[in-house]
């Protein structure tokens, strides 16, 4: 298992075919204000790739964009709504089709309100991950080894979690419902960017 670090783009040909796990690190939670700093991506075969964008980046990244926009590749996220918005706003692509482990968890783990990545990894895989670097400065000139490991761990387990969650979705007869939610997520992210981040436009009042 190796964590590879790249500046401004993903090298061509480093990912195998098939689904990819994707995550982002930004300067904060307001997408138009808080710039995209890092995109993490992994093909599920043991290595993770971190692509760092510097201040003033033009976010050209043709290789990374090609992977993210590839309609033949499922993109696996944990809380896809946020990552989709950041990728759309800064990289200018819709990174779909989507699988969201947090959405799947909420559909099948109705016995708990704990749907964070750390909780899922612990319950489904019996492993522990640290969230200590979650609120660190991702825009600095140097990313620490702790930051790199944290970023890599955010995509390291998503493939195996998707497999386990799919079994539970099938068991509870919620696969079709989950797929409908996944297909809507790019539109939910678009609503966030368009100015409806906290408003349920389907609500009665």
Q: How many Cβ atoms sit within 10 Å of the Cβ of residue 112?
A: 10
| Nearest-10 crossing angle of helices 101-108, 158-171 | 30
Contact 125, 157 (CB under 8 A): yes
105 found inside a domain? yes
C-alpha 51/C-alpha 194 separation (Å) is: 26
170 found inside a domain? yes
188 found inside a domain? yes
What is the sign, positive or negative, of the torsion defined by CA atoms of 120, 199, 65, 34? negative
| pLDDT value for 133 | 61
25-34, 62-71, 102-111, 118-127: range with lowest mean pLDDT: 118-127
| pLDDT value for 191 | 96
Q: 21: which strand partners?
A: 42, 76
Tell me the mean pLDDT in the region 29-53: 97
132 found inside a domain? yes
Mean residue pLDDT across the chain: 95
Q: Residue 19 maps to which CATH number?
A: 3.30.420.10
Tell me the mean pLDDT in the region 15-30: 97
72 found inside a domain? yes
199 found inside a domain? no
35 found inside a domain? yes
201 found inside a domain? no
| pLDDT value for 35 | 98
Beta-strand relationship, 3-7 and 98-100: unpaired
For the chain, percent of residues with pLDDT exceeding 70: 98
Is pLDDT at 32 greater than 90 in this prediction? yes
Is pLDDT at 48 greater than 90 in this prediction? yes
- Host H or E run for residue 169: helix 158-171
pLDDT digits (tens, 9 = 90+) for 120-146: 999 998 988 876 666 789 999 999 999
| pLDDT value for 128 | 85
What is the extent of the structural domain holding 120? Answer: 3-194
pLDDT digits (tens, 9 = 90+) for 159-189: 999 999 999 999 999 999 999 999 999 999 9
């Amino acid at each position: 298992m190796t964590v590879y670090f790249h500046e401004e783009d993903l090298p061509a040909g480093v990912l195998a075919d098939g689904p990819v796990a994707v995550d982002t690190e930004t300067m904060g939670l307001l997408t138009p204000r808080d710039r995209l700093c890092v995109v993490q991506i992994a093909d599920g075969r043991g290595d993770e790739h971190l692509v760092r964008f510097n201040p003033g980046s033009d976010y050209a990244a043709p290789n990374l964009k090609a992977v993210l926009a590839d309609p033949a590749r499922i993109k696996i996220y944990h809380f896809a709504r946020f990552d989709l918005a950041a990728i759309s706003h800064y990289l200018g692509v819709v990174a779909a089709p989507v699988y969201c482990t947090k959405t799947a968890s909420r559909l099948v783990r109705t016995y708990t309100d704990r749907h964070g990545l750390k909780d899922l990894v612990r319950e489904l895989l019996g492993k522990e991950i640290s969230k200590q670097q979650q609120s660190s400065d991702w825009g600095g000139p140097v990313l620490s080894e702790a930051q790199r490991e944290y970023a890599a761990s955010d995509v390291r387990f998503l493939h195996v979690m998707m497999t386990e969650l799919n079994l539970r979705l099938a068991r509870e007869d919620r696969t079709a419902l989950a797929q409908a939610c996944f297909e809507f997520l790019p539109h939910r992210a678009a609503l966030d960017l368009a100015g409806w981040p906290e408003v349920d436009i389907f609500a009665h009042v």
